[in-house]
Structure 1
Amino acid sequence: MQQNLSYSSQSGSPHWRIEDIAFAEIDRAAVENNEDLFFLLMSASFVETGSDTYATNLAEHYAAYPEIASWLKDHWEAEELQHGQSLRVYVETVWPEFPWQQAYDSFFAEYSKLCTMEELYPDQRLEMVARCVVETGTTAYYHTLRELSDEPVLTGLLDNIRSDEVSHYKHFLKYFKQLQGQSPVGRMRIAGALYGRLKELRESDSDIALRHVWAHKGRYFANSGRRFEDLARHIYELVSRRLPADLAVRMLLKPMLLPARVEGLIRTPISKLATRVMSH
């Protein structure tokens, strides 16, 4: 076995490698007729593959903080790109007639316009808060995919990716706390950043990816009878319903840095509210 293992900056343990995934053992019959997985996995492969542009902007945004910039380039970007590479191999194995590169190119032509420095919060503390929201969203996404998977190779791959996303969330939260400790920003501004980025999640990269998958799907699921608007609504509700509300609220409340007693008091009612919102 090769010894060029990368290591998790969180634990120091060996990080999983794409070379170790048994793509040749994929049980295509278990997944190829699953329309939800087709759209979710294709969309995820696009977004993850395009992450290097965003990572470059983030590293520049935090250039004054070498530790943060180094982690973004050496770990976050590398792991996101590995997600994209592994997902691409998987979907091209299961749905070989899908024109992946052509569809990705059309996606990236639109998506790259969002990957600008102007899209980042000028305040580096608040951008870290926004990153925590995004990682909460990706955790929801891969939580959903993992629940939908009955195919062993896919299940293992999704476990790896989901673990990475949780680790990324922990890093962004850690760096936010460091910046907050140096120069605190008020909780009202933190709450505003949380709410603002949360509102944008639906009209963001995954929505763009979904449209371009739909535009290039060809014969795949052509007879399902769905309109794109119906599919998009279904996918959004599917992801929302399957994320345990308590987990999402815990992740979203952490950047508020509330006293433990206060967080404990408000978490349950907010979780109940989130459950009602996400189920409609």
Structure 2
Amino acid sequence: MAVSHWNLDDIPWQAFDRTKVDPELVKIIKAASLVEYNGGIYADYLCNVFPDDAAFQSAAKLWAREEVQHGAALAKWASLADESFDFDASFQRFRDGYQITVDAPQSVRGSRSGELVARCIVEVGTSSYYASIASIAEEPVLKAICRNIAADELRHYKLFYTHLKRYLEHEQIGRWRRLAVAVSRVGESEDDELAYAFYAANEHQRPYCRKLHGRAYMKRAYACYQLGHVRRAVSMTFKAAGLNPQNPVTGPLSRLLFGFMQLRSRWTAAGA
């Protein structure tokens, strides 16, 4: 993977326009900054899963550094948008309350190929997510940051997919197994990580509730998406699962998923 082509100095911070800040986007950007900045811990996990693959370990470490950079950029923007946001305290709260096992001797997906499928799905979600935010954000600095991150996440998807193809030459896990891993990882998008990040960044004054804070995050996140972003995510998911990304079913499936996301956003807003 090539060295990231942008850094914090490349962001047009001087163009920040407070009048165009959406308070609802600020809340999910705060949460996203914590999750992205925590990327280094996943590199530790991946290096344990691939202990004898120096090339992949090197790529995973560079990937993690770029994820940390994403978190730093989002955190700086959030601090401009909300001067009361204490990133360091929020991140420490997040790390204390949400922990993953990084010393696993093998992938929790059952194989290295399965792990790489799961990593592809994560990048599917993040690339479409930041592209979605970039498309609706009116504040120019946030728009620039999210466009950069979305491009990075798409490149990360290609990175993990390239290594997936290499491992599939030796680990034939089959399309159904790949699809099962993909679907399972999509389902994990509503696990404790995002919910706890939202809590740690925004609502730590009251007790944590996974259901409550998960809904608070999702109602804002789902509202960002447009059909085109969902369609591309479905096609990329199909590709990672070993299916034809141009399959005619991707269109109807994308519309169904988009409708569900919009409905879910309205349900959670009403419930809140």
TM-score, normalising length from structure 2?
0.84
Q: Given that residues 195 and 214 in structure 2 are in contact (C-alpha distance below 8 angstroms), is that contact kept between their aligned partners in structure 1?
A: no
Question: Does the residue aligned with 2:173 lie in a helix, a strand or coil?
Answer: coil
> 1:20 maps to which residue?
10
How big is the shift at 1:62? 1.4
> 2:81 maps to which residue?
94
One-letter identity of the residue aligned with 1:86? A
The separation in 1 between residues aligned to 2:131 and 2:227, in whole angstroms, is: 7
1:65–1:148 CA distance, 2 compared to 1 (3 A): same
Identify the match of residue 139 of structure 2 among 135, 138, 151.
151
Identify the match of residue 110 of structure 1 among 97, 122, 133.
97
How big is the shift at 1:104? 1.5
State the identity %: 26
Q: 90-99 vs 185-194, which deviates more?
A: 90-99
How big is the shift at 1:97? 1.5
Q: Given that residues 214 and 228 in structure 1 are in contact (C-alpha distance below 8 angstroms), is that contact kept between their aligned partners in structure 2?
A: no
Question: Does the residue aligned with 1:101 lie in a helix, a strand or coil?
Answer: helix
Identify the match of residue 51 of structure 1 among 27, 39, 48.
39
> 1:279 maps to which residue?
262
Structure 1 gaps of 5+ residues are 1-7, 219-226
1:272–1:183 CA distance, 2 compared to 1 (3 A): same
Q: Given that residues 136 and 224 in structure 2 are in contact (C-alpha distance below 8 angstroms), is that contact kept between their aligned partners in structure 1?
A: no
Larger Rg: 1
How big is the shift at 1:256? 2.6
Identify the match of residue 195 of structure 2 among 186, 207, 227.
207
Q: Given that residues 98 and 217 in structure 1 are in contact (C-alpha distance below 8 angstroms), is that contact kept between their aligned partners in structure 2?
A: no
Question: Does the residue aligned with 1:112 lie in a helix, a strand or coil?
Answer: coil
Identify the match of residue 242 of structure 2 among 257, 261, 277.
257
Identify the match of residue 20 of structure 2 among 30, 33, 40.
30
The separation in 2 between residues aligned to 1:239 and 1:212, in whole angstroms, is: 21
One-letter identity of the residue aligned with 1:207? A
Whether 1:193 aligns to 2:178 is no
Q: Given that residues 144 and 238 in structure 1 are in contact (C-alpha distance below 8 angstroms), is that contact kept between their aligned partners in structure 2?
A: no
Q: Given that residues 125 and 179 in structure 1 are in contact (C-alpha distance below 8 angstroms), is that contact kept between their aligned partners in structure 2?
A: yes
How many residue pairs match? The answer is 257
1:164-191 per-position Cα deviation (integer Å, ceiling 9, x unaligned):
0010011111111111122311112111
Identify the match of residue 77 of structure 1 among 27, 51, 64.
64
How big is the shift at 1:106? 0.7
The separation in 2 between residues aligned to 1:63 and 1:176, in whole angstroms, is: 16
One-letter identity of the residue aligned with 1:270? L
How big is the shift at 1:213? 1.9
One-letter identity of the residue aligned with 1:100? F
1:24–1:120 CA distance, 2 compared to 1 (3 A): farther
One-letter identity of the residue aligned with 2:162? K
One-letter identity of the residue aligned with 1:19? D
Q: 51-60 vs 114-123, which deviates more?
A: 114-123
The separation in 1 between residues aligned to 2:229 and 2:180, in whole angstroms, is: 23
One-letter identity of the residue aligned with 1:264? N
How big is the shift at 1:250? 0.4
1:198-245 per-position Cα deviation (integer Å, ceiling 9, x unaligned):
111111422221111222489xxxxxxxx8576334224314556633
The separation in 1 between residues aligned to 2:53 and 2:67, in whole angstroms, is: 21
The separation in 2 between residues aligned to 1:28 and 1:215, in whole angstroms, is: 22
One-letter identity of the residue aligned with 2:119? R
Structure 2 gaps of 5+ residues are 207-211, 264-272
1:45–1:89 CA distance, 2 compared to 1 (3 A): same
Q: Given that residues 53 and 112 in structure 1 are in contact (C-alpha distance below 8 angstroms), is that contact kept between their aligned partners in structure 2?
A: no
